[in-house]
Chain A
Amino acid sequence: AQKVTQAQTEISVVEKEDVTLDCVYETRDTTYYLFWYKQPPSGELVFLIRRNSFDEQNEISGRYSWNFQKSTSSFNFTITASQVVDSAVYFCALRGDAGGTSYGKLTFGQGTILTVHP
């Protein structure tokens, strides 16, 4: 069975602070994919990043960065110099690849509500 845990239910920061959202996952698959999605107040989930299990390079995209550590089964997301527009619910998700029969079924974490105050 797969599981994704986002232990931080809510985080509140002041604009320009850095913030890290934690994600820990469990899977028995040797090949798997990890995702982060953002859900702004409008409700639509927006894809942010995909990482496969063979690529442990960290990634930076503007103010966003992701730290993937297989040794600790973690895929954490950091926003540098946060802005009010970053306020949203953020979801971490996992897709295993057991024999390729999972049809892309994603398992989501509980989500972290991030509020950035001006």
Chain B
Amino acid sequence: DVKVTQSSRYLVKRTGEKVFLECVQDMDHENMFWYRQDPGLGLRLIYFSYDVKMKEKGDIPEGYSVSREKKERFSLILESASTNQTSMYLCASSLDGAYGYTFGSGTRLTVV
């Protein structure tokens, strides 16, 4: 089974801090994605990557950046954390989008 691992289950950070959320997948998938999940809004795509060093903005990229130096690792970066970035962050990978995604367990980030 494909496994997608997110490094932290819960994080608490202060406003203005630079925050790194890490995601690793173990099945050589080309495509990786970062979503945030908020009540009543579902999952919204922040960024995705279809190859090493390649990235594309999703629907809500403002305040975020990403890094993909190796195929298996996709990092989400909050340049200067703000309270409105308090959310659940979900990473996913996919070999071929037609077959859907495999998700990590999520990181619940609280910015105080």
Interface residues of A (CB under 8 A from B): 4, 6, 9, 33, 35, 37, 42-45, 47, 50, 52, 91, 93, 95, 97, 102-111
Contacts and interface: CB of A to CB of B under 8 A. Distances in A.
Nearest to B92: A45
Contacts of B50: 103
A7 to B, nearest CB: 12
Contacts of B88: 43
A110 B31 contact: no
B23 to A, nearest CB: 13
Nearest to A111: B42
22 contacts: A37-B103, A43-B88, A43-B105, A43-B106, A43-B108, A44-B103, A47-B100, A47-B102, A50-B100, A91-B42, A95-B97, A103-B31, A103-B48, A103-B97, A104-B31, A104-B94, A104-B96, A105-B45, A106-B97, A108-B44, A110-B42, A111-B43
B90 interface: yes
Kindly state the interface size class of chain B when it binds its partner: 20 to 34
Interface in B60-112: 88, 90, 92, 94, 96-106, 108
Contacts of A103: 31, 48, 50, 56, 97
Contacts of B35: 108
Contacts of B90: 45
Contacts of A97: 98
Contact of B40 (A4, A9, A47): A9
A35 B100 contact: yes
A74 to B, nearest CB: 17
A73 B108 CA distance: 33
